[in-house]
A and B are shown apart, each in its own frame.
Chain A
Amino acid sequence: MTLNRGIISSPDERDMFIGWARAPAVDRRFLVAALPLGLAGVGGAGYALAAALDDPGAGAWLTGATHEVEGVFSRTPYPMLRIADPAAPFGMRTILVIAEGKCTSALALDAFAGEAVRASGVLIERGPRRALEVPLAHQDWIAQLDAPPSPALAAPAEEDLGPVSLAGMIMDSKCFFGVMKPARGRTHKACASLCIRGGIPPSFWARTPDGREAVLLMTNADGGPMGDAILPLVAEPARVTGRLVRVGDIVQLRADAGDYAPADA
């Protein structure tokens, strides 16, 4: 290829491509060589970019199947079901109840608080963590059972595991449990903020010293729901000082919004 040194046409390049005419032979030869290389470069860029993506994370959103459970519904700190499961730690499994979309707080479930219920929905799971995605438009997915609620499920034992200081990231439990992968970082910040603002429980994602993943249900220092005050820190590296409290089979991270700070602060 001869570079035309600019603005004065060179006698070495007599043939000029004109759109409405047949391309000159010199251009055809150039294009025959250059276009396959260009296409390979474009395809290679797509291949390489996809191959370099970070681990999207664990979790699954089991759409296409309806999961039915029986257990005790709890309204606080977030809507959740506790079901008996002898194979699970402490003989029970807690399943968060999350609405379709990002508006879980719109679910009207006070009538079922503390009652034994049968519920069905789409299961979302990440390791031992579970959530049940349910419709927002109707309540056919939940029905109260005649049987009285199991006291062990209605009021599970609490165990104070002591104070803790952790570094990690605040996630929305729905996306992070498996609806979106990856569901972390800046590109997911707005989504996670909307989810938490809409009533989806926040989780604190941290690594234990031995590298294992820890997903802690976030509550305020009194064990109640977190407010919107933590929204600025969602999906950003953060530090927190609080207490760990085991409630049934799950561990709550109890800390007020003021106990959280950016990790680089």
Chain B
Amino acid sequence: MGHKYQAIQWNGNKLVYDAYVVIAGVAFLGAFFFVGLAPHPSGHAADPVVLAIRALGSAAFVFLTIILAIGPLARLSRRFLPLLYNRRHLGVFTFLIALAHFGLATLWYHGGGPLNPLVSLIVSGQPGDPFPGVPFELLGLAAFAILFVMASTSHDFFLNHLGAPVWKAIHMGVYIAYGLIVLHVAYGYLATEAGPLAPALVYGSFTGLAGLHVASGLAEWRKDGAMSGRKGPFGRDWIEIGDPTRIPDGCAVIAPLPRGDRVAIFRDGRSLYAVQNACRHQNGPLGEGALIDGLITCPWHGWQYSPRNGVSPAPFSERIATHDLRLESGVLFVSARPNPLGREGATVAIGGAIVGGYNGDAAP
């Protein structure tokens, strides 16, 4: 957690993750060059620089698609959490590929002429003089600028100083960048090459990605619907959760709050605790995590908090808000008002058998 800054806080999982990222990059670019450098069936050979521009641009698109697929996949199944864990490194790797594509294309197509290459890049697509047409270069440049900002602020230093909500908002710009890249490819590469494969890949990726996000959103919407947020007999600030015994031990249910936030209610044996659902680190969904060693553990990067007071274990000092709970006639209610940071929330104890859940040693 954010105790002190290092360039990269390596661990074994990150090393393995990054090794696979590099292998994937080599696999894509190697295969592209292996085939692309061989003579076309016509007997003509492609220019290696143009080939490199296309290989790098294609790789950036493919890896950005993968990056954007990991989030919804991890929400649909925990098996994809290992891919989510070090996604930032995959993002920086993708940015470096995009940087190489940007640099080569700018120098090769716009360099050596009567205009500064960057000026040429900007004016070449504008309507009217000098070169009209759909400004696919500008679309790519705008996407690259967003990726540049994201890569530049990817370190935890910026995350901690900007705060998770601002940092997250900046990095949600990746969806704008992806849309711009789809248009960049559609009006550039796809308008130049005639084959059906590239359009199928681009539009298929876009559609598949949209479908994954819809599926993930629908799952969340269904759960929000199940947790309808009905107000009980304790006033508007108390949200009815229902039968607490259905919460698996060591896990949580997530309930929407009137202001749009969410609260996670964890069960630890016969005790129930409520905390804000958003992790301090990257707004990860704590309620999709688990209790490990008695601590709420975020599924994204393993940040931990005490379920009692929302404070990270020493030497860390991050804090999340708790919420008060109350039990009435076997029905659980949670306060919509978060407690001040660091304050213990009112908890409840339930009877009955402990079933299921993450605390596997105690579970059947």
Given contacts A51-B35, A56-B45, A190-B120, contact A39 B201 (CB under 8 A): no
Question: Which residues in chain B, 22-40, are within 8 Å of chain A measured between CB atoms?
Answer: 23-24, 27-36, 40
Contact of A232 among B81, B132, B194, B196 (CB under 8 A): B132
Contact of A182 among B35, B50, B252, B290 (CB under 8 A): B50
Chain B residue at smallest Cβ distance from A195: B113
B214: min CB distance to chain A, Å: 13
Given contacts A17-B85, A191-B110, contact A1 B75 (CB under 8 A): no
Answer yes or no: A76 CB below 8 A from chain B CBs: no
Answer yes or no: B355 CB below 8 A from chain A CBs: yes
19 contacts across the A-B interface (CB closer than 8 A): A1-B79, A7-B223, A7-B288, A9-B251, A9-B289, A9-B290, A9-B358, A11-B356, A14-B358, A17-B78, A19-B13, A27-B79, A46-B55, A50-B35, A186-B136, A188-B192, A190-B110, A191-B108, A236-B133
Contact of B77 among A4, A50, A101, A179 (CB under 8 A): A4
Q: Which chain B positions have C-beta within 8 A of A20?
A: 11, 13, 302
Q: Which bucket holds chain A's interface residue count?
A: 35 or more
Question: Which residues in chain B, 274-291, are within 8 Å of chain A measured between CB atoms?
Answer: 285, 287-290
A34: min CB distance to chain B, Å: 8
A residues whose Cβ falls under 8 Å from a Cβ of B: 1-11, 13-21, 23, 26-27, 30-31, 34-35, 38-40, 42-59, 100-103, 179-182, 184-191, 193-195, 197-198, 228, 231-232, 234, 236
B192 touches A46 (CB 8 A): no
Question: Interface size on B (CB < 8 Å)?
Answer: 100
Q: Which chain A positions have C-beta within 8 A of B42?
A: 55
Beyond A31-B82, A186-B134, 13 additional pairs, beta carbon < 8 A: A4-B78, A11-B363, A14-B360, A14-B363, A15-B360, A16-B81, A42-B24, A52-B198, A102-B113, A181-B47, A190-B120, A231-B130, A234-B131
Interface centre among A2, A103, A191 (most CB of B within 10 A): A191
Q: Which chain B positions have C-beta within 8 A of A45?
A: 28, 58, 62, 201
B55 touches A19 (CB 8 A): no
B131 touches A18 (CB 8 A): no
The contact string, 1 if C-beta is below 8 Å from chain A, for chain B 206-240, is: 00000000000001101110000000000000000
B133 touches A197 (CB 8 A): no
Given contacts A56-B44, A194-B115, contact A19 B14 (CB under 8 A): yes
Given contacts A188-B192, A193-B131, contact A14 B219 (CB under 8 A): no
